[in-house]
Amino acid sequence: MRCLAWLACATITAECGAQGSRLINQDEYADRLRGMWLGECIANWTGIRAEGARTQPPFLTDADWGTNPPGTRGRLEFVLDQDPWRADDDTDIEYVYLHLIDAGPSNLLSADRIRSGWIAHINRFIWVSNRTARTLMDRNLTPPGTGMAVANPNWLMIDAQLTTEFFGALAPGMPGEALALADLPISTTAGGHAAMASRFFVVLYALASQAPADLSPRDRNLWLVGRARAFLPEGSKPADIVDFVVGDYLANPDRDDWERTRDLVYARYQRDAAAHGFVYRAWYESSVNFATAVMAFLYGEGDFARTVRIGTLSGWDADNPTATMGGLLGLMNGEAWVRSAFPKATLSSKYWVSVTRDGLPDRTPGEDGEDRFDLMAQRMLPMVERTIVGAGGLGDPTGRRWLLPPAVVAPPSVTDRAWADWVASATRRVRAMGGTATALSSVVGTPWGCQCTGDPAVIANGLETRWDGTEPSESDRWQHSTRTGTRTPGLVVQLSVNYDRAVRVSRVRFIEGDHWADPDGGGWFQWLIPEVRVGGTWLGLPTGTTASEPLDPLRPFQVIEWTMPAAVAEVTGVRVSGAVGGAWGYATCLELDALDDRPEWRVSFDLNGDGAIDVEDQHRWHAAPVDLNGDGVTGPADMRYLESAVRWREIDDMTWPWRR
């Protein structure tokens, strides 16, 4: 009931205010980007004074502000005097991603670019899942392997929530594009519900420019949280957290009493977690810190100083949620707005990244630090334009403006690549229909330790594809191994998953497990052949099938996906066969699955599909009106929006004497 009540409230709020303009001034957006970096730095260094100081009662309260309670790192007050701002893991990993994108041809970072970038630049001042992922990279792992449950025991910690919001800023008004950009960076350190919470923040940042200007700050925040909440599946832990926090905020008669909600968060997700079906893992976990971020954002009601103060006093890993919300408010409102919160302070625009990160260029020689927020924002503008134009929007270098592509009016699952893959999973689909998916191995393994099992059922448990956001069982963190008590180097092994009913398949996905060195050498295939079963017959994949990456015996936890040129219907099984490697000779596997096509979710101004944006599309709209701007209403605003696209360069293309 709490969920339905607050979502209904969010719907009413959305109807009262139109979505923000999909025409963006580039100079105005640069100001937002500067505000994001500045807001994040202020909030980070203010919050860090309370980091880890309170992880259970007695918690900090408003009365502690301006004092130096035991366990804190100095007086609890706004940190405004750093010049330059020191890098910290709340900003410097995103800064590295900015550098990697700036140095490359695409906003979409590949797994190898992420790994090489981390090795080159991220070696100090990293902890928990970030540290584990960095160590795994020295073993040649790449994302998403570095964030998988078996490989990284810290996969449900907070790390990805403080290192990836940045990607939302590269895709204003386009949450689907933002999630695609953030997918591998998030899976570098997170999986399960921790990855889902991270994606929620990415969506918040992507929609920051679209929050309706005619709403009050309080209702704008509710609008944003409501839109991002739609990307969380019902029954997931992050959805429960958002609904719980928003529900108590709306029910609270005292809008200053954020401490009530914080205490209830502690009771539900820490003290009594097991009674509610949850697990509390550590003070730096994803969940409690996800809750305090949403709480601070809502109770702050659009006031930067109030939001940062609440986040700092909230408890647990206080600096990280606070930094995320400080950056979000800066992105929503701009640099001048952030500065106005502290009119008596002289706030630096300089950034000192070499204090924590290695091998990055000095972009401000002769100045303290190596960069400035204005330079960082200017480097981001071409990236934003790449995203907009690549998604079907329009850029205008003369007028320094962008017209965002039409909004996708569809269930968020259509635009979320990870969610779409979970929906497309044959293992999930068959079981959702009441059927069975049975895993088989040609070798009955008898491994010991190393989170290995000879039971092939784990390759069809769906954990690595699962996107329901529920608490995983620790017993799910196992990999299948064909290791026996006998050395069998070069033995050909078959792994299969068989379905009791036919499904449509366009891709086969194999997720490998770990490798071990000699003398117990093994864990990999030397070569691998995928097949599907149609009509009771096993068939090789058709000509034209492409593999996402080659099999590499030196790289454990590979994710290899074979995409067929056309989908195959009536598939009742999928299998892989190959010779095992290593001195002992055995293979490991985390998951074997068959997937259907990902849905095409982009919307174009080219409504009639003739390859041009012109008056014919306006005629088509009149014949079949559609909601192009995503405000939930089909009407004149959509027609004006389409007309802007049709006439986008008309004035600039005119020449004297017709140009006025």
Residue 10 has pLDDT above 90, yes or no: no
In whole angstroms, what is the distance from residue 187 CA to residue 149 CA? 11
Q: 258 near 216, Cβ under 8 Å?
A: no
* Domains delineated in the chain: 2-355+367-403 (1.10.4080.10), 421-595 (2.60.120.260), 604-653 (no CATH)
In whole angstroms, what is the distance from residue 132 CA to residue 111 CA? 16
DSSP 147-182: GSTTT-TTTTBSGGGGTSTHHHHTSTT-HHHHHHHH
In whole angstroms, what is the distance from residue 298 CA to residue 223 CA? 11
Q: 644 near 403, Cβ under 8 Å?
A: yes
In whole angstroms, what is the distance from residue 403 CA to residue 645 CA? 7
- The single residue listed with the structure tokens 């979970």 is 422
3-state SS assignment for residue 35:
helix
Select from 111, 150, 184, 112 the least CA-distant residue to 588: 150
Residue 16 has pLDDT above 70, yes or no: no
Q: Which residue has the higher pLDDT, 656 or 131?
A: 131
Tokens found for residue 501: 């009913």
Percent of the chain with pLDDT over 70: 95
In whole angstroms, what is the distance from residue 207 CA to residue 186 CA? 18
Residue 336: phi and psi, rounded to 5, are: -60, -40
Tokens found for residue 57: 């009662």
Chain CA centroid to CA 632, Å: 25
Q: 422 near 45, Cβ under 8 Å?
A: no
Residue 172 has pLDDT above 70, yes or no: yes
Residue 559's DSSP bridge partners are 511
Please measure the distance between the N-terminal and C-terminal CA atoms of the chain and give it in whole angstroms. 58
pLDDT in tens, 364-412: 999 999 999 999 999 999 999 999 999 999 999 888 999 999 998 888 8
Handedness of CA 111, 117, 123, 125 (dihedral sign): negative
pLDDT number for residue 446: 87
Q: 98 near 33, Cβ under 8 Å?
A: no
Tokens found for residue 340: 């106005």
Average pLDDT over residues 413-429: 91
Residue 397 makes CB contacts below 8 A (sequence gap 6+) with none
pLDDT in tens, 484-521: 999 999 999 999 999 999 999 999 999 999 999 877 89
Handedness of CA 530, 534, 536, 542 (dihedral sign): negative
In whole angstroms, what is the distance from residue 258 CA to residue 255 CA? 7
pLDDT number for residue 15: 39
pLDDT number for residue 660: 27
Report the range of poorest mean pLDDT among 174-178, 335-339, 442-446: 442-446
Select from 349, 336, 251 the least CA-distant residue to 298: 251
pLDDT in tens, 226-253: 999 999 999 999 999 999 999 999 999 9
Select from 413, 501, 412, 426 the least CA-distant residue to 462: 426
Cα 52–Cα 146–Cα 54 angle in degrees, nearest 5: 5
Average pLDDT over residues 155-162: 98
Residue 293's DSSP bridge partners are none
pLDDT number for residue 230: 96
Residue 285's DSSP bridge partners are 157
Q: Which residue has the higher pLDDT, 657 or 563?
A: 563
pLDDT number for residue 7: 54
Residue 608 has pLDDT above 80, yes or no: yes
3-state SS assignment for residue 576:
strand
Q: 357 near 95, Cβ under 8 Å?
A: yes
Mean pLDDT of all residues in the chain?
93
In one letter, which amino acid is 62?
D
Q: pLDDT band at residue 653, thresholds of 50, 70 and 90?
A: low
